[in-house]
């Protein structure tokens, strides 16, 4: 379908890699220009405090500690710093986004 619409031929693997790069670019933009960090990847307190009102999950709520464990695992899977959620040079380099890591470094926003 991509080729029919754009004229660009791309394998499924190439398309996934492109999506990954876009995701990394969005994250870098939000880190630099909006100061996003780990706190911005955590839902509002009410989802941990207030139980679900209806449906199959009625009465349940998210566990804050477990959510944070899973968030750290998510960061690790993406090659980001587990503590801050910031991107690391190594992963950006593997994706051919060294210029992005340089920009993050310039603003003091690169992960350890």
Quick one: pLDDT at residue 3?
A: 81
- CATH code of the domain covering residue 71: 1.10.599.10
- Determine, yes or no, domain membership for 31: yes
d(CA 33, CA 44): 22
pTM above 0.85, yes or no: no
Check residue 43 and give its pLDDT: 95
* Nearest-angstrom CA–CA distance, 83 and 89: 16
Let me know if residue 58 belongs to a domain.
yes
> For position 24, what pLDDT does the model report?
97
Does 5 fall in a domain?
no
In a domain, 111, yes or no: no
Residue 48 confidence (pLDDT): 96
Nearest-Å Rg of the Cα atoms of the chain is 18
Please give the average pLDDT of every successive group of 10 residues along the chain, which has 112 residues. 85 93 97 95 95 95 96 96 95 96 96 91
Domain limits at 22? 12-106
Number of domains making up the chain: 1
Q: Which two tokens stand for residue 3?
A: 């080729």
As a three-state string, the secondary structure of the chain is CHHHHHCCCCCHHHHHHHHHHHHHHHHHHHHHHHCCCHHHHCCCCHHHHCCCCCCCCCCCCCCHHHHHHHHHHHHHHHCECCCCCCECHHHHHHCCCHHHHHHHHHCCCCCC
pLDDT of res. 8? 87
User: Is residue 4 included in any domain, yes or no?
Assistant: no
Answer for the pair 93, 85: CB distance below 8 angstroms, yes or no. Answer: no
Residue 2 lies in a domain: no
């Amino acid at each position: 379908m991509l080729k029919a619409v754009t004229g660009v031929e791309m394998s499924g693997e190439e398309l996934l890699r492109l999506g990954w790069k876009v995701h990394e670019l969005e994250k870098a933009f939000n880190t630099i220009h909006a100061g996003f960090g780990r706190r911005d990847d955590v839902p509002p307190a009410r989802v941990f405090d207030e139980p679900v009102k209806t449906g199959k999950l009625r009465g349940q709520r998210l566990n804050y500690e477990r959510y944070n464990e899973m968030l750290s695992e998510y960061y690790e899977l993406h090659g980001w710093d587990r503590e801050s959620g910031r991107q690391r040079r190594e992963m950006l380099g593997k994706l051919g986004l060294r210029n992005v890591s340089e920009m993050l470094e310039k603003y003091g926003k690169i992960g350890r």
